[in-house]
Amino acid sequence: DQELSRQMEAKFLQLQKECEKLKFASGSLQKDSQQKQRAIEMLFESLEKLQKEKADEQDMLAAMELKADKAALSSKVDCSQFDENMEQLDERMEDLQNQISDQKQHWDTVLQQFSDAMEEKV
């Protein structure tokens, strides 16, 4: 019986040691699991932040379409240049109106002279 009791006690001590090893391994695995869980949570937070901050692809494409390219921009007229050209056009139109008015007066004078000459001859 004593021999059996010693064997049982040795087995019990061996089981206790193995149980402590398993407990230690379990603790290590649990710590690793917690660290990995925190890392995963941080990754999810980073992913959510990126999704909030990222530019929508369609918005970017629309903005790029609206953006003037250099070739199109060079063909467009500057506002100050447009105003300057309109002022020049106004001046030319006034000159033309003055010339037409002078021409009309000249024609009226010539027509009056022609009419007077016709009356004298009649």
Closest C-alpha among 30, 32, 8 to residue 16: 8
Same domain membership, residue 59 and residue 2? yes
Q: What confidence category does residue 93 fall into, taking pLDDT thresholds of 50, 70 and 90?
A: very high
Same domain membership, residue 73 and residue 19? yes
Same domain membership, residue 68 and residue 18? yes
pTM for the full predicted model:
0.39
Same domain membership, residue 63 and residue 92? no
Say yes or no to pLDDT of 12 above 90: yes
Same domain membership, residue 68 and residue 83? no
Same domain membership, residue 31 and residue 67? yes
Average of per-residue pLDDT across 23-42: 94
In 54-78, which residue ranges form alpha helices assigned H by DSSP?
57-66, 70-75
Q: How much of the chain exceeds pLDDT 70, in percent?
A: 90
Segments forming the whole domain that contains residue 97: 78-121
Quick one: pLDDT at residue 74?
62
Same domain membership, residue 55 and residue 18? yes
Same domain membership, residue 54 and residue 104? no
